[in-house]
Amino acid sequence: MDTWKRRVVLYAAFLGGMIAFTAVTYQWGMRVYENDPRTLIESLRFAVEMFSTTGFGGDAPWESQEMNAYIAVMDLVGMALLFGALPVVATPLLESAFSTTVPRSLEGDAEGHVVVASDTTRSDALLNEFDSEAVPYVVVEPDPDRALALYEAGHTVVQADPQTTAGLESARLGAARALVTDVSDRVDASIVLAAKELSTDVRAISVVEDPSRERYHRLAGADEVLSPRSLLGESLASKVTTAVRTDLDEAVAIGDSLRIAEVSIHHGSGLAGSTLAGSGIGERTGVDVIGAWFNGAFEAAPPPDATLSAGTVLLVSGTEGQVERLVDLTNSAARRFGAGETVVIGHGQVGKTIVNALREAGLPVTVVDRDGGEAIDVVGDATDPETLREAGVADARTVVLALPDDTTAEFATLVARDLAPNVELLARVADPESVPKMHRAGADYVLSLSTVTGRMSASAVLTDRDVLSLDTHVEVVRSETPALIGRTIGEAAVRETTGCTVIAIERDDELVTDVGPGTRIERGDELVVAGTDEGVRAFERAFA
């Protein structure tokens, strides 16, 4: 029974007892002190009239002092009961009548949706991914307050326990395309077990904090197990090792020759401070700039006069050799001719992944952490300048902040930037809202764990999309474009109207990568297009 309903029952029982007690004592008092006997029914009527504040009938006034005192006391008791009824009965009833009620089951014959279990601090990025792709979903959330907040925010939600088959059945799991669970390592395994008990065919995707527990999620029945912390650490490490490794592990391959990759402009690079047009990137390297991150904000198809500063990340397409030439061009002399020292601050799961990747690449690394250990070189507070000086931040080539707390990371960024104005500063954060603050504090490149988790989870569901970036909604799609047949890309103003870039054309089983404004689209062509989620949707509406 709900708490407020239990209160109502107890209050009603107490009130009934008080009315009965008042009726009996009033009957006795009228006989003894007033010498005016009343029947039990008449006494009961008096008690009801008094507690309901409708009056005392014809019994008033009373002659004896004892009865007047009795009536005064019972008046106070009745007033207390009346005021007590407001929070116990009236307020809950009004709240129940006027408040929003979260569904306990998914209505209709929904199918092909994604079941998300359940709402966490990382859920927003995943739900945004589904919203941008128009993928139906339902969140199964056991906490009533969280479920209500999601429901009032416009999300499809069911208030139920995702660790039970009944809770998952209320979300029509059997008709769903996939289940995504990201609560904790133990809870996720429990949810997967419940899901497989209900439907062995549903595709279960779970997220692990500790990669060593992936095996147990597989044993529970998970079809795909994601480890975003490891991937985040690998991505940050790759930004450090790009200068000495040119295999471009992060690049997305389009056919045998074309690559799409992120390339950072480092402090000391000859490109820093120039405009996109003035840098001559296209002429000098042959790549095509699809978009760029300026101070953490992504801009598709940046204008020619856009300024390239240290920390700008370019999203480009080209052959492997062209991208490698751009990598060399964006690095500073120090990065080209010497590996230098890297300081990794924080040795959690992300930090360990970074350190392992750097050591495998043969790069010198100094590890800083508050807690000591065999792998820790400097023990101390990441926000203490003396700790960072001892770690050699002032002379380092790159500093990577892998701290679990965003507020600490922001302050450590300020301290590190003050000690080393020209150091390359990479960082991880938990909350996407911390990304712009980290850039303002002085970080060059920032990845959000929530965004990485959301992108990974969405990509596991949307298998027909290629994810290009972990920190923004950039994707590659292949699409036939009947509206473009017979027209050139320049005539259709594809890039100007949608922000997307046509990077290749699949024609007669061949991949045409030499695409420009004068390229004419033929019948049967399938265009390979890169852009943000919004840009791709605009492209498909306009030309597909």
Percent helix, strand and coil across the chain, each to the nearest 5: 45, 20, 35
| Nearest one of 392, 401, 344 to 367, comparing CA atoms | 344
Average pLDDT of the residues of the chain: 84
Burial class (CB in 10 A: 0-12, 13-18, 19+), 160: buried
Residue range 102-148, pLDDT digits in tens: 889 988 788 899 999 988 878 888 888 788 778 899 999 999 989 98
Which pair of tokens denotes residue 377? 């070189």
* Per-residue confidence (pLDDT) for residue 267, from 0 to 100: 66
Measured CA to CA, the distance from residue 423 to residue 396 in angstroms comes to: 7
| Nearest one of 495, 491, 485, 490 to 521, comparing CA atoms | 485
Name the 3-class secondary structure at 393: helix
Name the 3-class secondary structure at 173: helix
* Half-sphere exposure for 535 (CA within 13 Å, toward CB): 25
Which DSSP state fits 520?
A: B
Which pair of tokens denotes residue 9? 């029952």
**What is the average per-residue pLDDT within 61-90?**
80
Residue range 208-256, pLDDT digits in tens: 988 899 999 999 999 999 998 888 888 788 777 654 333 334 455 566 6
Among 91-95, 244-248, 399-403, where is mean pLDDT lowest? 244-248
240 with 465: CB under 8 angstroms? no
Measured CA to CA, the distance from residue 161 to residue 36 in angstroms comes to: 63
Which pair of tokens denotes residue 352? 């360990």
Measured CA to CA, the distance from residue 104 to residue 449 in angstroms comes to: 31
The contacts of residue 371 (CB under 8 Å, 6+ apart) are 347, 379
**What is the average per-residue pLDDT within 495-504?**
87
Which pair of tokens denotes residue 499? 């922000």
pLDDT category, 67, cuts 50, 70, 90? Answer: confident
* Per-residue confidence (pLDDT) for residue 6, from 0 to 100: 74
Name the 3-class secondary structure at 382: coil
Residue range 453-477, pLDDT digits in tens: 887 887 788 765 555 455 555 677 8
Which DSSP state fits 88?
A: I
Length of the chain: 544
* Per-residue confidence (pLDDT) for residue 427, from 0 to 100: 93
For the chain, the distance separating the N- and C-terminal CA atoms, rounded to the nearest angstrom, is 55
250 with 232: CB under 8 angstroms? no
* Half-sphere exposure for 417 (CA within 13 Å, toward CB): 17
Neighbouring-strand partners of residue 467: 475
Measured CA to CA, the distance from residue 409 to residue 401 in angstroms comes to: 7
The CA distances from residue 418 to 411, 412, 423, in Å, are 11, 10, 10
**What is the average per-residue pLDDT within 195-209?**
93
- Does 529 or 8 have the greater pLDDT score? 529
Measured CA to CA, the distance from residue 18 to residue 77 in angstroms comes to: 9
Three-state SS annotation for 63-128: CCHHHHHHHHHHHHHHHHHHHHHHHHHHHHHHHHHHCCCCCCCCCCCCCCCEEEECCCCCHHHHHH
pLDDT at 58 over 80: no
Specify the pTM. 0.66
- Does 97 or 383 have the greater pLDDT score? 383
Measured CA to CA, the distance from residue 157 to residue 512 in angstroms comes to: 45
Percent of the chain with pLDDT over 70: 87
* Per-residue confidence (pLDDT) for residue 353, from 0 to 100: 93
Backbone angles phi, psi at 175, to 5 degrees: -100, 5
Residue range 250-300, pLDDT digits in tens: 455 566 677 877 787 876 678 888 999 898 998 898 888 888 877 667 787
* Per-residue confidence (pLDDT) for residue 56, from 0 to 100: 65
124 with 450: CB under 8 angstroms? yes
Measured CA to CA, the distance from residue 440 to residue 330 in angstroms comes to: 22
Candidate ranges 32-36, 113-117, 336-340, 491-495; pick with highest mean pLDDT: 113-117
Which pair of tokens denotes residue 33? 């002190």
| Nearest one of 407, 357, 350 to 383, comparing CA atoms | 407
Percent of the chain with pLDDT over 90: 32
Which pair of tokens denotes residue 258? 């074309």
Residue range 161-186, pLDDT digits in tens: 999 999 999 999 999 999 999 999 99
Among 162-171, 397-406, 448-457, 488-497, where is mean pLDDT lowest? 448-457
Measured CA to CA, the distance from residue 204 to residue 474 in angstroms comes to: 25
Name the 3-class secondary structure at 128: helix
